[in-house]
Structure 1
Amino acid sequence: MNINAVKIVTSFVTILQYFDSLGYLICMFLSLFFKSADAEVTGSKSSSEDKTEFVPIFRSGSCAERGPKQYMEDEHICIDDLIHHIGSASNIPFPGAFYGVFDGHGGTDAALFVRNNLLRLIVEDSQFPTCVGKAITSAFMKADYAFADSSSLDISSGTTALTALVFGRTMLIANAGDCRAVLGRRGRAIEMSRDQKPNCTSERLRIEKLGGVVYDGYLNGQLSVSRALGDWHMKGPKGSACPLSSEPELQETLLTEDDEFLIMGCDGLWDVMSNQCAVTMARKELMIHNDPQRCSRELVREALKRNSCDNLTVIVVCFSPDPPPRIEIPPSRVRRSISAESLTLLKGVLEC
């Protein structure tokens, strides 16, 4: 940055100091802008270039509680080392991991069946691992059909399904139902799945197009989710399109060093806790003890304190062996009248 530009900015900043909070916000923006400009002039390595070398190390913990319900119908799975689990001959990228939360209803048969068979169906699919997204979608449908053919199981039971499959830095979230995955990115909550409720505009349109109805927020007046596996008393012949779909929605992201952990939970957690509240609490816990198992247990306990009325299942997946670092707020010579929390939020927005 040349000397004239520095003088202009310095004069401008002096004037802005009289405008208190507004001046502080603009000064902070200019500081970040010219800092990035200097980095480009000197040819220093950008933050995005640094993050390309990031390799996640998976650590997970989980907690499941029956809660106030009479029966526990949730199932879950945590695999931190996927290659070791399915065999090195599988020709999948390293490192790999797989996690899933399955919120059953109308009995436990569907959730347990999907939990025990879904990963195998993904790996055995002909499109795996070259087209992982297509393999996952196909496996969800195959698991649903296989469950329908199980004569010894109650095929009227059903389950939602939320999975996270990670290869190297690529994480693919698949969701059918109202479980939710939320990424903790330097203290900010990034939603990685969409709750599939009948009242959702796109889901309502799909349901009505296929001859279904949404009554008081329920699909055909019976089910509070618009996608699920099982529930074959509400579905037509296998392969036919029906309002209750087992096809998952997919969301892919490339993990960087800013991505600290992932929270996966059934609706019993999210009914009483916002995404940001869960991430803030999890980050605080991990900074204290760096144990994802304890962290998931504390999230479940907090949900119970908030009177969650459902089964509770929570998985916390960390991507580094180290605890989340403390977020430092740079000192400023400009008087400010906004809180430290507001400053942290502003800093996160500007960094985006």
Structure 2
Amino acid sequence: MVAEAEVIHQSLDVQCRVAMEIDEIVDISAAAAAAAVAELGPEAAAVTVDVTVSELELRKSDAILDISVKPLLFVPSIRSGSFADIGHRRYMEDEHIRIDNLSSHLGSLLRCPMPSAFYGVFDGHGGPDAAAYTKKHATRFLFKDANFPRASEADNNFVESVENSVREAFLLADLALAEDSTVSSSSGTTALTAMVFGRILLVANAGDCRAVLCRKGEAVDMSQDHRPINAAERQRVEQSGGFVDDGYLNGILSVTRALGDWDLKMPRGSPSPLIAEPEFRQAMLTEDDEFLIIGCDGIWDVMSSQHAVGVVRRGLRRHDDPERCARELVMEALRLNTVDNLTVIVVCFSDEYGGSSASPCHEPGQQQQQQQQPRTRCCKSLSVEALCNLRSLLDNGGSN
């Protein structure tokens, strides 16, 4: 048997709900009930309680009174899928990493806010050597050699320390490529990494891979393409003694940041127009953030960020499978006649895709405003005896 009562405190505009269910309550004393009424104040006399004692043919501790409403903080529930294809090239030079549970993967090597995840896409050029080497040693460079910070909370100090550590890791990987005799000095790779720590999403990019966040159906770029046509990059290149010819750095390379390519960076230690230092972007994830797409430039050569978001969003609505979505995005790029290798990672931030805003796929500016219903949970409870005392106090205008 379930009896329900709704208590409305007019001055505070607070709504509390009473629901009695067998075996689902926590008992508190009648004194606590009196304290609750005292807190409400004399206006509680105007409150109505639609509960009769005769209906309470239950044992003690079978009433729940929710006297406070608290929003639940969003915690991402991470799952991902990936797909790679050689495309129309003779050789596959892309590599990628996908770790949905970083803490479990690294064990005692890492102490970090939960949940934790790590993703990387490495788009090689001049042969597969640099990309393959970077993938093989990425976790060592990032989480061991660069003194990755240990913390349980993702505060500003932690995020700043992570950025410094990742920056150091990119530079360490770049130097390691110069020193390893098995890697050709003409081989290089772009590198984009994405990390999730608690609600923090941190993206580091050197090159023209791209990370795109879907926020309520809108594409939010989480990286900048480092190409010679980019005005800021072109200025930096020219100030470093390089030049741009027909859209290529020094007439050779289509990116302005990459790991490796030591034929262009030599001699070591001297300023170079081609650098390995990453740029960072971060976001605080909320329920509006549906998924992240990480893709190599073969995807972005033929479609916009918003187009890619639309493809993945429609796929998730149909089958809720990020692996299939990654494949569908690659197939769409091939349909649009991309000529490059193709690699895509799709990272979802919920267990099940319900379209957190539930609006159809759309172009920017067409999104309808929708109000989110607040999540609530029970925080206090009253026994039958305490509830009867509360009713008596309310009937007497709280004078007791």
Q: State whether TM-score is above 0.5.
A: yes
Question: Of 67, 90, 106, which aligns to 2:126?
Answer: 106
CA drift of 1:221 comes to: 0.3
Q: What residue number does 2:171 align with?
A: 141
- Counterpart CA distance in 1 for 2:364 and 2:205 is 34
CA drift of 1:199 comes to: 1.7
- Counterpart CA distance in 2 for 1:236 and 1:227 is 15
Q: What residue number does 2:387 align with?
A: none
Q: What residue number does 1:190 align with?
A: 220
Q: What residue number does 2:136 align with?
A: 116
- Counterpart CA distance in 1 for 2:189 and 2:119 is 16
- Counterpart CA distance in 2 for 1:349 and 1:115 is 42
Greater relative contact order, per chain length (Cα 8 Å cut-off, separation 6+): 2
Structure 1 pair 139–306 and aligned structure 2 pair: CA distance change class (3 A): same
Q: What residue number does 2:5 align with?
A: none
- Counterpart CA distance in 2 for 1:349 and 1:210 is 49
- Determine helix, strand or coil for the equivalent of 2:346: strand
Q: Give the unaligned 5+ runs of structure 1.
A: 1-40, 330-338
Aligned ranges 1:311-326 → 2 under 5 Å: 311-325=341-355
- Counterpart CA distance in 2 for 1:88 and 1:127 is 13
Q: What residue number does 2:81 align with?
A: 61
Determine if the alignment matches structure 1 residue 309 to structure 2 residue 339: yes
- Counterpart CA distance in 1 for 2:233 and 2:266 is 18
CA drift of 1:347 comes to: 3.1
Amino acid at match of 2:368: K
Contact 2:218–2:363 (CA<8 Å) still a contact in 1?
Answer: no
- Counterpart CA distance in 2 for 1:118 and 1:341 is 37
Q: What residue number does 1:201 align with?
A: 231
Question: Of 76, 80, 84, which aligns to 2:100?
Answer: 80
Amino acid at match of 1:322: E
Structure 1 pair 309–348 and aligned structure 2 pair: CA distance change class (3 A): farther
CA drift of 1:201 comes to: 1.1
Contact 2:121–2:191 (CA<8 Å) still a contact in 1?
Answer: yes
Q: What residue number does 2:275 align with?
A: 245
CA drift of 1:134 comes to: 0.4
CA drift of 1:95 comes to: 1.2
Amino acid at match of 2:177: F
CA drift of 1:186 comes to: 1.4
- Counterpart CA distance in 1 for 2:349 and 2:137 is 26
C-alpha distance after superposition, 1:295-316 (max 9, x if no partner): 1000001111111110000000
CA drift of 1:343 comes to: 10
**What is the TM-score with the length of structure 1 in the denominator?**
0.79
Contact 1:283–1:324 (CA<8 Å) still a contact in 2?
Answer: no
- Counterpart CA distance in 1 for 2:290 and 2:195 is 16
- Determine helix, strand or coil for the equivalent of 1:75: strand
Determine if the alignment matches structure 1 residue 221 to structure 2 residue 241: no
CA drift of 1:88 comes to: 3.7
Determine if the alignment matches structure 1 residue 257 to structure 2 residue 287: yes
Aligned-residue sequence identity (percent) comes to 53
CA drift of 1:84 comes to: 1.0
- Counterpart CA distance in 2 for 1:180 and 1:320 is 22
Structure 1 pair 81–346 and aligned structure 2 pair: CA distance change class (3 A): closer
Q: What residue number does 1:347 align with?
A: 368
Amino acid at match of 1:173: V
Task: Determine which structure has more spread, i.e. the larger CA radius of gyration.
Answer: 2
Question: Of 119, 126, 138, which aligns to 2:147?
Answer: 126
Question: Of 283, 291, 298, which aligns to 1:268?
Answer: 298
Contact 1:260–1:324 (CA<8 Å) still a contact in 2?
Answer: no
- Counterpart CA distance in 1 for 2:215 and 2:301 is 22
- Counterpart CA distance in 1 for 2:229 and 2:363 is 33
CA drift of 1:341 comes to: 5.2
Q: What residue number does 1:11 align with?
A: none
- Counterpart CA distance in 1 for 2:361 and 2:273 is 48
CA drift of 1:344 comes to: 7.0
CA drift of 1:118 comes to: 2.1
Tell me how many residue pairs correspond in the alignment: 297
Contact 2:218–2:364 (CA<8 Å) still a contact in 1?
Answer: no
**What is the TM-score with the length of structure 2 in the denominator?**
0.70
Structure 1 pair 252–349 and aligned structure 2 pair: CA distance change class (3 A): farther
Question: Of 237, 241, 261, which aligns to 1:231?
Answer: 261
- Counterpart CA distance in 1 for 2:236 and 2:364 is 42
Amino acid at match of 2:179: D
Contact 1:197–1:224 (CA<8 Å) still a contact in 2?
Answer: yes
Q: Which has the higher helix share?
A: 1
Structure 1 pair 239–200 and aligned structure 2 pair: CA distance change class (3 A): same
- Counterpart CA distance in 2 for 1:231 and 1:316 is 29
CA drift of 1:164 comes to: 0.1
Q: How much is the aligned-residue C-alpha RMSD, in angstroms?
A: 2.4
- Counterpart CA distance in 2 for 1:270 and 1:343 is 18
Q: What residue number does 2:186 align with?
A: 156
